[in-house]
């Protein structure tokens, strides 16, 4: 086996990543379609893509990939550090080492060997949004440690999910009778006031509804004084193109909740990828906040997933909002890992400079 380092995601390579991502437990944001769109539309201009591929020498097949980007961060005022981070950082909700089933250990060994051989060319390795249930990235940690690197890993948040392979009635009559008591009151209120709402699920022509959805998203973020992830033209272009790419592959779906007059009450954009419905971005119309339209929509979304035998899990992705805990049947941690390259001259000089500054400050006190 040998490793190839590439600086671009050509069409053939993107298709290989699609295939590898399909075999991963949470590979929805590791596809070639997602990462190539990211690299073209919203990667920071000073960053460079670095795609490591592990190829089996006998068959010639690519059996693993580590999609990274190189970014330059300030070390001191005289030099910068070369930091390796996930390609897709920002809009992505999951990261991992891509490896064909059964190849995890060998692939991670090869990537660790490459990082050791190229140790003069990078200073820091920072990976995050690593799912706790993965069998891939922990092998990379072990391989890096065997190569002499000190790896710091820590839990960094969590994601909620609903196992929807059970009948809808089991959730409705079981867990949800307690965890969704407030929502059930809102549903009864709609019945008393004779307000009929309806849900629509669409997998085509989604982009036509995105502007209105993003306007509601921006209003919500501004009202809560939170960062708007789609404020920049680059991030909006990325989202539209990603939806188009996923829609073309039948990987995207938009769930919407409408009032009696057709007004949009709430919308949930998601990815339907190899047995999992990933809830990516949800918005609600503040004019109907009294009826909890976001929760009403998620309630119907869980039911839709339970009724589809092809879907085994509804994944709420990044973020631990209270409503996710109310619906979820389980929770998994995210992990982050950091490697400070012990052979990096720039890191050694930075530490030396920091010590000199500390001595100077102590003398001047």
**What local confidence, expressed as pLDDT, does residue 11 receive?**
77
**What DSSP state is assigned to residue 254?**
E
**What local confidence, expressed as pLDDT, does residue 349 receive?**
75
- CA distances 202 to 169, 208, 268, 313, Å, are 24, 11, 11, 19
**What local confidence, expressed as pLDDT, does residue 286 receive?**
94
Domains and CATH numbers, the chain: 2-158+334-364 (3.40.630.30), 165-311 (3.40.630.30)
CB count, 10 Å around CB of 228?
A: 14
Q: How big is the CA angle at 321 (ends 87 and 262), to the nearest 5 degrees?
A: 95
- Could you give the CA distance from residue 290 to residue 302 in angstroms, rounded to a whole number? 21
- Could you give the CA distance from residue 20 to residue 101 in angstroms, rounded to a whole number? 9
**What local confidence, expressed as pLDDT, does residue 117 receive?**
96
**What local confidence, expressed as pLDDT, does residue 353 receive?**
57
**What local confidence, expressed as pLDDT, does residue 358 receive?**
59
Encoded tokens for 281: 């971005």
Residue in the block written with tokens 């004084």 = 225
Give per-residue pLDDT as tens, 284-308: 999 999 999 999 999 999 999 999 9
Q: Which residues contact 107 (CB under 8 A, 6 or more apart)?
A: 1, 54, 63, 64, 97, 99, 100, 136, 139
The DSSP element (H or E) to which 224 belongs, if any, is: none
Residue in the block written with tokens 């890191």 = 347
**What local confidence, expressed as pLDDT, does residue 192 receive?**
95
| 3-state SS assignment for residue 25 | coil
**What local confidence, expressed as pLDDT, does residue 79 receive?**
76
**What local confidence, expressed as pLDDT, does residue 9 receive?**
79
Encoded tokens for 236: 């909006």
Residue 187, Ramachandran bin (φ over 0: left; ψ between -120 and 50: alpha; else beta)? alpha
Q: Which residues contact 237 (CB under 8 A, 6 or more apart)?
A: 41, 42
For the chain, 365 residues long, give each residue's pLDDT as a single digit of tens: 668 777 777 778 999 999 999 999 999 999 999 999 999 999 988 899 999 999 998 888 999 999 999 999 887 666 789 999 999 999 999 999 999 999 999 999 999 999 999 999 999 999 999 999 899 999 999 999 999 999 999 999 999 999 999 999 999 999 999 999 999 999 999 999 999 999 999 999 999 999 999 999 999 899 888 899 999 999 999 999 999 999 999 999 999 999 999 999 999 999 999 999 999 999 999 999 999 999 999 999 999 999 999 999 999 999 999 999 999 999 999 999 999 999 988 887 776 656 655 555 667 66
Give per-residue pLDDT as tens, 86-121: 999 999 999 999 999 999 999 999 999 999 999 999
**What local confidence, expressed as pLDDT, does residue 7 receive?**
74
**What local confidence, expressed as pLDDT, does residue 348 receive?**
76
**Torsion sign, CA atoms 115, 121, 126, 131:** negative
Encoded tokens for 81: 């550090």
């Amino acid at each position: 086996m040998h490793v190839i380092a590439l600086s671009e995601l050509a069409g053939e390579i993107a298709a290989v990543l699609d295939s590898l991502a399909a075999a991963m437990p949470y590979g929805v944001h590791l596809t070639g379609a997602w990462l190539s769109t990211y690299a073209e539309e919203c990667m920071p201009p000073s960053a460079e893509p670095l795609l490591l591929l592990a190829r089996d020498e006998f068959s010639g097949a690519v059996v693993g990939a580590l999609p990274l980007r190189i970014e330059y961060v300030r070390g001191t005022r005289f030099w910068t550090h070369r930091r390796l981070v996930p390609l897709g950082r920002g809009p992505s909700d999951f990261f991992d080492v891509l490896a064909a089933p059964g190849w995890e250990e060998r692939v991670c060994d090869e990537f660790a060997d490459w990082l050791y051989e190229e140790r003069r060319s990078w200073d820091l390795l920072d990976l995050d949004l690593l799912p706790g249930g993965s069998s891939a990235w922990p092998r990379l940690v072990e391989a890096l440690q065997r190569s002499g690197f000190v790896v710091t890993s820590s839990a960094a948040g969590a994601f909620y999910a609903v196992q929807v392979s059970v009948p809808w009635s089991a959730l409705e009559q079981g867990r949800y009778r307690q965890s969704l008591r407030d929502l059930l009151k809102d549903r009864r209120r709609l019945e008393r006031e004779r307000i009929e709402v309806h849900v629509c699920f669409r997998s085509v022509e989604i982009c036509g509804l995105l502007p209105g959805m993003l306007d509601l998203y921006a209003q919500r973020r501004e009202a809560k004084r939170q960062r708007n992830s789609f404020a920049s033209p680059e991030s909006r272009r990325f989202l539209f193109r990603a939806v188009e790419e996923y829609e073309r592959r039948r990987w995207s779906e938009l769930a919407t909740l409408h009032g009696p007059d057709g007004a949009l009450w709430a919308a949930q954009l998601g990815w339907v990828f190899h047995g999992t419905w990933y809830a990516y971005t949800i918005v609600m119309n503040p004019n109907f906040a009294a009826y909890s339209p976001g929760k009403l929509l998620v309630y119907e979304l869980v039911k839709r997933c339970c009724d589809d035998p092809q879907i085994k899990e509804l994944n709420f992705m990044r973020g631990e909002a209270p409503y996710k805990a109310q619906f979820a049947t389980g929770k998994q941690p995210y992990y982050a890992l950091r490697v400070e390259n012990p052979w990096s001259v720039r890191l050694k000089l930075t530490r030396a400079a920091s010590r000199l500054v500390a001595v100077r400050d102590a003398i001047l006190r």
